[in-house]
Amino acid sequence: MNTASTPIVEVRGLWHTYLAGTPLETPSLRGVDLCALRGETVGIIGPTGSGKSTLLQHLNGLWRPQRGEVHVCGLSVNDPAIDLRVIRQQVGLVFQNPEDQLFERYAGDDVAFGPRNLKLGREEVRERVREAMEQCGLPFSFKDRLTLELSQGERRRLALAGVLAQRPQVLALDEPTAGLDPQGRLELLRILRQWGKDGDRAIILASHNMEDLAELATRVYVLVAGQVVLEGPPEQVFERTDVLVPAGLSVPPAVEVIQELRRRGFTVPHAVLTPAQAIRQIEAILHA
Amino acid sequence: MPEPSEFELSGRVTIGQYLPTGSVLHRLDPRVKLCMGLLLIVGTIGTRSLLGLAILMAAVLFGLRLARVSLRFALSGLSPALPFLFLLALLQVFAIPQHVAGSAVVWRWRFLVATTGGLFAAALLVGRFCVLVLGISLLSFSTNTTELTHGVEHLLIPLQRFGLPAHEFALVVNIAIRFLPILAREAERLMKAQASRGADLGRSGGGPVTRARRLLPLMIPLFLVSLQRADGLVEAMEARCYVGGKGRTHLIQLRARPVDMATLAACLGLSLLAIGLGTLGADAWLLHRLASHT
């Protein structure tokens, strides 16, 4: 991780209440602090209804802060004079089940929706569509396929390409692997890892799937009832089953195995996240 | 109060929302509440008297109070319609000539003439609209959709003799109402997703074709999702061996209590009073009395 990097996303004391001022008002975020540096992949874990999606939607100005501050790419979402379209281009937001949002007849046109809204020239749009589709593992020739004929995994990657075609600096994703088959999930994780390699960019990933976060995240926030209760590298956060389990969250299976080994009296020196790491630890125990 | 976001669709429409405050009004028989709603509509449209309208308005406000709904919340559903209402009132005053006996000219500027009759008609129009919106909101605040459809079904049972499928009709109504908030949420999500890709959905202007084209990114996915949901619903109902209509019994049996009948009678009385005041010309008499005093 690049230690000299600067925060690209900064959220300070963010509060949000849905339907404020009506009898149906529900608090969603209660004083959230979050930051992401360039080059980081930040995970947000939380049970359903903890405010993950609301938090993400603040990052690209879909909501203005009711209380608190949101800064992205040096721009303030609080600033009433700011052009939200610029922020929405800089922070690409991928919704849950993004394949539902496709509307064009041809795949290529759907990816081109964002760049065309940016009023780019014909050639530039074409170039961006090609680049985004290839980043998402879709051959450029797919642009002439009918959107509805693609498989679910392909449709999801197409929707992701539609966001990447805007060339954002920050990519915010809401449950990106939910409902995908194992192969589709691995492919999506590979695409995200590849995209995040560029040290100038940042990924913010909201999920309740611990394995996705164990694979990708360099730092994790745990959000419970609109408040950050834990923050740190995933291997440290996942050790805290005392906080995670009561909140309705689980830990990755590999972590669970190691914790069970410790409970049974084995000494496992290092924290693990993935099955491969767990195997190495178990091998060490066997050879000792 | 923070200003509502451009995307918070469900926050702006108060009519059709259920507020579970558990008040006396919530516990009334839904059939009675439906009949009261109908009586209110008949009374409001039937009366030609401002005095009668005022009585109905008072009854609705009293109902809101009983239901423990804040007046501000109830009125917030009315506010989007206010500009149109104002325009309608202006048209009523100036564009539609009022030849009511005893109507006097109040104000005149070139071709614009306001008569007492015109002002009276405009006040009636605005009053009617407000009473109707608040009254129907009150019904929806205090009755959840299950109760409502039960009520509709039971009220329609007598018509089964003439071949009306009461149960199926109620089911269709129930599903339609049940899906409204879901579709609103879906639309909200799609608007946000497309706005994130630079769509400018809120902008007005342009010809009708341009404006319709701007909505395509919203309409097409919304239709697709709705059809998918409908498909899923059908399968779920078939899987649970749903058969409609004949011989189907209900978990909840509606029973009207004396308090239900009393409320209904009171409502009937008020509506008849409002209509009666109109036909008797109570307002003319009142205006006359007022005029003779000054």
Indicate which of B140, B196, B228 best probes the interface with A, i.e. most A CBs within 10 Å of its own CB: B196
The CA distance from A64 to A150, in Å, is 36
- For B21, name the nearest residue in chain A, comparing CA atoms only: A23
User: Given pLDDT bands bounded at 50, 70 and 90, which one contains residue B1?
Assistant: very low
Regarding pTM above 0.90, the answer is: no
Sheet of A26-37: strand order equals A26-37, A7-18, A67-72, A75-76
Strand (E) or helix (H) holding B283 = helix B282-293
Q: Between the CA atoms of B212, B217, B223 and B225, what dihedral angle is there, to the nearest 10 degrees? A: -160
CB B80, CB B98: distance < 8 Å: no
Residue B66 pLDDT > 60: yes
A21 in reach of chain B (CB within 8 A): yes
Say whether A101 and B2 touch across the interface (CB within 8 A): no
Say whether B17 and A24 touch across the interface (CB within 8 A): yes
A124 in reach of chain B (CB within 8 A): no
A158 in reach of chain B (CB within 8 A): no
Whether the complex's predicted ipTM surpasses the cut of 0.95? no
Q: Single out the residue of B19, B218, B250, B277 nearest to residue B150, CA to CA.
A: B250
Terminal-to-terminal C-alpha distance of chain A: 33
Report the pLDDT value the prediction gives residue B8, as an integer from 0 to 100.
63
Average pLDDT over residues A91-108: 92
The CA distance from A12 to A31, in Å, is 7
What is the per-residue DSSP string for A12-26? EEEEEEETTTSTT-E
CA A20, distance to chain mean position in Å, is: 27
Report the pLDDT value the prediction gives residue A239, as an integer from 0 to 100.
86
User: Given pLDDT bands bounded at 50, 70 and 90, which one contains residue B77?
Assistant: confident
B140 in reach of chain A (CB within 8 A): no
Tell me the pLDDT of chain B averaged across its residues.
82
Indicate which of A93, A103, A146 best probes the interface with B, i.e. most B CBs within 10 Å of its own CB: A103
Q: Which residue has the tokens 């998918």?
A: B228
Tell me the pLDDT of chain A averaged across its residues.
90
Average pLDDT over residues B115-144: 88
In this complex, the residue of B19, B196, B216 whose CB is nearest that of residue A88 is B196
